[in-house]
Amino acid sequence: MKISLLFPPSWHPSQPYLSLPCLTAFLDQAGIPDKSQRDLNMELLDFVLTRSYGLDVYQRLLDKAKELERSLQGDVGPNSREHYARVVESLERFPYLIDQIEPAKASLRSEEFYDIERYRECLFLIDRWLELVSSLYFPTRITVVDNQFAYSIYSSRDILKAVGDETQNPYIDLFRHQFLPSLIGDAPDLIGVSITATSQIIPGLTLCRLIKETRPDIHVTIGGSIFTRLVDNLRRCHRLFELADDFIVFEGETALVELVNQLEGKKQFEKVPNLIYQANSKVVVNQPFYSENLAQHPAPNYDGFPLGRYLAPETVLPVQFSRGCYYKDCAFCALTLDHQNFRQKDPTKVVDELAALSKKYDTPFFFFTDECLALSPTKRLCRQLIDRNLGLQWTAELRFEKNLTRDLLALMRDAGCQKIVFGLETYNARLMDFMKKGITQEHVNRICNDCVDLGIAVHCYIIVGFPTEREEEALETMNFIINNTKLHSSYGFSCQPCLFDLEKEAPIMNDPGAYGIQRIMRPASEDLSLGFFYEVKEGMTPEQAERVYQHVYEKISEVVCELPFNYSMADGLLYIARHNRQRERQPTGV
């Protein structure tokens, strides 16, 4: 059996994503040789950012302008005066952008990446280019990391329209002409598509539709965290099985191997763990859900990924020490659903894997994707990294734990840690307790100061609008950032404010009344909703919270370096590592 694993747009173009390399390595270990993996997100972006594609777009823009001149329909929407104005604007911008787009891409892959002004200019040029391309499909707007459609990604009815809309969906044409021939030409028996972010929903399902339309005999399965959070929805949503044969939810390694075995054998799909499929017109969900034995998993395999084509001068590889979260009490967090329990690899095994990956793919740069590293194993990991003198540089996520001492932070720095990502969420003491964060202001202050003193960059996520939060409490968190000059002026610091979403699998949903939520609503048409609208008894309303969030975002943006540190953790890692190397070379006293 021949297997093809695909990662669709849109995702950040600085580094590969971890899902397919983990699956590929597991298939290797299971003795399944005939397989391939492709990062279509990067392949597609690389194609779109070319002069040859631009010339094709230019002719189509000319044709679209003539068509719209003959048949304008209203002021807004497709075929409107607004659409025509966008096309005309794109034609005016085209002569400048067509000469700039390939040099911009080349600059991000070269040493010019580290020239911050050129870096920003290149990202701006790429954004303008994608805006130009999007005008063909107005009102759709594509960016490097996202897609904005007129269709709702939370409605199966809308999704089924979007994946077939030739006028508003740019991925139909791009997949059909640039990628489908090679995908089908490889003659796979099974295609797996990883959909891990909302930005991938319409592109990924468009790809699935085109595959099934062209070759109905190919078995198409969808995996990834999006549909893991939609298990109950899939039970009631038969429409999506028009696009794929089945879905693998939660962790996919063992499930994929068993699916291969069943497709080659008796097709007893009830034996495939974590599989959701249709049988006799009914949706079947195979339970209980299976959790992987992470200790037996191999290092990820990035063979086949276009490592030289990511928009960065050096390769940054995502890796994983653990799955799940050892601290599961945060009331707002639905991330723990993706991995049902906390497991971790042995630190010695992880160091062996890092050493092998570094040598094989010629890079010292790694990004731990763990939800948060546990402290005791991290200490052992760092000691072994130091003892083996591997010279690796990495970033990871931790909690503001009482036991995250200055000595441990110093050990992490000496082992190559360049930046730590923290979920602060709030600096208000009442909300820290109400959210069940298990942290204190004292811990936050001390750890931030220790990181800055030791030369470890810091990232803080914060949430605005948690139920019962008052405006002054949100501003207290904002002021912790903007008044803390030592922190926000430290090299590599970043901070991402987020507006609170009531997510369907978050612990808060177990007892919403206890969190001041008095009414929960979901539009009937949004049968794939990942969250809810709600009303609160006290504190800011969702509308007030959105206004305060905009204020907080603007004020924090004034003191935070958005590019590269707030834009991309991978880009930021490369910048920080370069900065630290240069600082080490400076003579004492300079």
DSSP annotation of 109: T
Question: With bands split at pLDDT 50, 70 and 90, how would you rate the model's confidence at 77?
Answer: confident
Are 10 and 203 spatial neighbours (Cβ–Cβ below 8 Å)? yes
Are 208 and 162 spatial neighbours (Cβ–Cβ below 8 Å)? no
Of the three residues 252, 273, 294, the one that is the final residue of a domain is 273
Q: Is the pLDDT of residue 189 over 80?
A: yes
Question: With bands split at pLDDT 50, 70 and 90, how would you rate the model's confidence at 7?
Answer: very high
Q: Is the pLDDT of residue 175 over 60?
A: yes
Identify the bridge partners of residue 365 per DSSP, sorted by sequence position. Answer: 316, 393
Question: With bands split at pLDDT 50, 70 and 90, how would you rate the model's confidence at 28?
Answer: very high
- The CATH number assigned to the domain holding 536 equals 3.80.30.20
Same domain, 388 and 492: yes
Tell whether 302 is covered by a domain. Answer: no
The average pLDDT across 543-555 equals 97
Structural tokens at position 579: 């900065």
Of the three residues 273, 301, 329, the one that is the final residue of a domain is 273
Q: How far apart are CA 550 and CA 232, in angstroms?
A: 33
Q: How far apart are CA 202 and CA 475, in angstroms?
A: 37
Structural tokens at position 386: 């130091």
Tell whether 557 is covered by a domain. Answer: yes
Residue 73 has what pLDDT? 84
Please name the residue ranges forming H helices in 169-252.
170-174, 180-185, 201-214, 225-228, 231-236
Structural tokens at position 588: 């004492």
Structural tokens at position 21: 């390399």
Same domain, 230 and 353: no
Q: Is the pLDDT of residue 587 over 80?
A: no
The average pLDDT across 486-512 equals 94
Identify the bridge partners of residue 533 per DSSP, sorted by sequence position. Answer: 521
Please name the residue ranges forming H helices in 189-272.
201-214, 225-228, 231-236, 253-264
Q: Is the pLDDT of residue 98 over 60?
A: yes
User: What is the overall mean pLDDT for the chain?
Assistant: 95
What is the end-to-end Cα distance of the chain in Å, rounded? Answer: 62
Amino acid at residue number 19: S
Give yes or no for a cis peptide into 107 (omega within 30° of 0): no
Q: Is the pLDDT of residue 339 over 70?
A: no
Amino acid at residue number 513: G
Q: How far apart are CA 2 and CA 7, in angstroms?
A: 17
Percentages helix, strand, coil for the chain, rounded to the nearest 5?
50, 15, 35
Tell whether 186 is covered by a domain. Answer: yes
* Size of the chain in residues: 590
Are 527 and 237 spatial neighbours (Cβ–Cβ below 8 Å)? yes
Question: With bands split at pLDDT 50, 70 and 90, how would you rate the model's confidence at 590?
Answer: very low
Same domain, 231 and 319: no
Q: Is the pLDDT of residue 298 over 90?
A: yes
Contacts of residue 559, defined as CB under 8 A and 6 or more positions apart, other chains included, come to 481, 482, 488, 489
pLDDT in tens, 347-395: 999 999 999 999 999 999 999 999 999 999 999 999 999 999 999 999 9
pLDDT in tens, 150-169: 999 999 999 999 999 999 99
Q: CA-CA distances (angstroms) from residue 516 to 274, 519, 533, 537?
A: 35, 9, 14, 5
Tell whether 283 is covered by a domain. Answer: no
Contacts of residue 16, defined as CB under 8 A and 6 or more positions apart, other chains included, come to 7, 39, 42, 302, 305, 307, 310, 317, 318
Same domain, 430 and 348: yes
Contacts of residue 32, defined as CB under 8 A and 6 or more positions apart, other chains included, come to 1, 3, 257, 260
Instruction: Tally helices (H) and strands (E) across the chain.
Output: 21, 20
Of the three residues 224, 249, 273, the one that is the final residue of a domain is 273
Tell whether 307 is covered by a domain. Answer: no
Q: Is the CA virtual torsion 481, 482, 484, 488 positive or negative?
A: positive
Contacts of residue 479, defined as CB under 8 A and 6 or more positions apart, other chains included, come to none
Same domain, 346 and 424: yes
Tell whether 305 is covered by a domain. Answer: no
Same domain, 323 and 259: no
How many separate domains does the chain show?
Answer: 2
> Residue 440: is it exposed, middle or buried by C-beta count within 10 angstroms (0-12/13-18/19+)?
middle
The average pLDDT across 165-184 equals 97
Same domain, 85 and 145: yes
Q: What is the CA radius of gyration of the chain?
A: 24
Q: Is the pLDDT of residue 589 over 60?
A: no
Tell whether 290 is covered by a domain. Answer: no
CA nearest 306: which of 511, 47, 23? 47
Q: For residue 585, what is the enclosing H or E element?
A: helix 569-585
Tell whether 569 is covered by a domain. Answer: yes
Same domain, 318 and 253: no
Q: Domain containing 75: what range?
A: 1-273
The average pLDDT across 3-32 equals 97
Same domain, 188 and 333: no
Same domain, 444 and 499: yes
Same domain, 234 and 375: no
Q: Is the pLDDT of residue 454 over 80?
A: yes
Residue 115 has what pLDDT? 98
Structural tokens at position 237: 């949503």
Identify the bridge partners of residue 319 per DSSP, sorted by sequence position. Answer: 368
Q: For residue 53, what is the enclosing H or E element?
A: helix 51-70
pLDDT in tens, 242-281: 999 999 999 999 999 999 999 999 999 999 999 999 999 8
Please name the residue ranges forming H helices in 417-484.
429-434, 441-454, 471-482
Same domain, 357 and 448: yes
Question: With bands split at pLDDT 50, 70 and 90, how would you rate the model's confidence at 586?
Answer: confident
Q: How far apart are CA 28 and CA 311, in angstroms?
A: 28
Please name the residue ranges forming H helices in 223-343.
225-228, 231-236, 253-264
Residue 344 has what pLDDT? 94
Secondary structure class of 16 (helix, strand, coil): coil
Q: Is the pLDDT of residue 325 over 70?
A: yes
Residue 338 has what pLDDT? 63
